[in-house]
């Protein structure tokens, strides 16, 4: 998908802002119909969903994609520096956008953990929850996922080489998926990550939240997700302890950023869960 599509989506979006900490939280919305809220991953923004927004809108959904507090164009939350600091500003912000209506939520990676905590804390808000490549299950990668530092580099080509390597280490399985668009999105997002010192992903915070949240829960993971390589049976077993677990889809040939790497299969799985 060419980078120009990002500009088109941005131009078509309804820009929404709500209070957050000492500033504002930024949301983008498209389409009409039943609201579907999308929460991006760590060191990301709404652009993590670049290849999914138009198909979801085409399926009749009003898609509302947040820049989570401390990421993208959104201000830091009033307190805290991890996923447990985000349900309050998310709930307050969405109340301004949709009122008291229950919505469907899909959360990717850090956003999936955030979505689970949101569903636990504000159960009336979440009609259906889909967690995508989410950590916080109390499981640990069999092989360390070590990302290389890049901020000390002044040469853009050297930085780009590190970014491509990091995308291969964590985000994307197929080298061909690390295209110019993926690199551009990643570069624009990582420099705006101000939520430092996050540790909840290395706990069972999401698993515990899902055992209390009353909403139906689905899951979508890439077959080769670097966080859980070779552990999909273990992931499924943890998720099945959720209070109302429904199903888990494992997308063949995809890594952690499954909705970018295999968008057609991902979109079909998400829409089937929300049908």
Average pLDDT, the chain: 96
Range of the domain at 142: 4-273
Predicted confidence (pLDDT) per residue in 80-94, tens digit: 999 999 999 999 999
Instruction: Quote the tokens at residue 70.
Output: 């401390």
| Domain count of the fold of the chain | 1
| pLDDT reported for residue 2 | 41
| pTM of this prediction exceeds 0.95 | yes
183 pLDDT above the threshold of 80: yes
Which residues contact residue 38 at a Cβ distance below 8 angstroms, ignoring those fewer than 6 apart? 46, 49, 52, 53, 63, 64, 65, 66, 105, 106, 107, 108, 111
**The domain that contains 90 carries what CATH number?**
3.40.50.1820
- E strands, the chain, are 14-20, 23-30, 34-39, 61-66, 103-108, 126-132, 217-222, 245-251
DSSP letter assigned to residue 227: G
Please tell me whether residue 136 adopts helix, strand or coil conformation: coil
């Amino acid at each position: 998908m060419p980078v120009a599509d990002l500009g088109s989506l941005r131009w078509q979006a309804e820009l929404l802002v709500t209070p957050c900490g000492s500033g504002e939280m930024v949301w983008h919305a498209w389409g009409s119909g039943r609201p579907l809220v999308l929460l991006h991953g760590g060191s990301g923004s709404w652009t993590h969903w670049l290849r999914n927004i138009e198909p979801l809108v085409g399926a009749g959904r009003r898609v509302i994609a947040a820049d989570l507090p401390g990421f993208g164009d959104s201000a830091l939350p009033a307190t805290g520096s991890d996923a447990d600091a985000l349900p309050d500003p998310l709930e307050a912000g969405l109340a301004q956008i949709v009122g008291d209506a229950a919505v469907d939520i899909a959360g990717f990676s850090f956003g999936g953990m955030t979505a689970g905590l949101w569903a636990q804390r504000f159960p009336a808000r979440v009609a259906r929850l889909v967690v995508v490549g989410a950590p916080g299950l109390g499981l640990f990668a069999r092989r360390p996922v070590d990302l290389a530092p890049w901020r000390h580099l002044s040469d853009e080509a050297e930085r780009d080489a590190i970014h491509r390597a990091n995308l291969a280490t964590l985000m994307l399985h197929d080298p061909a998926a690390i295209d110019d668009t993926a690199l551009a999105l990643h570069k624009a997002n990582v420099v705006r990550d101000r939520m430092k010192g996050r540790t909840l992903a290395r706990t069972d915070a999401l698993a515990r939240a899902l055992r209390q949240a009353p909403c139906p829960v689905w899951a979508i993971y890439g077959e080769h997700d670097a966080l859980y390589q070779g552990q999909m049976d273990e992931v499924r077993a943890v998720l099945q302890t959720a209070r109302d677990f429904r199903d888990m889809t494992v997308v063949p040939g995809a890594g952690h950023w499954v909705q970018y790497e295999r968008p057609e299969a991902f979109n079909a799985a998400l829409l089937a869960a929300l049908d």
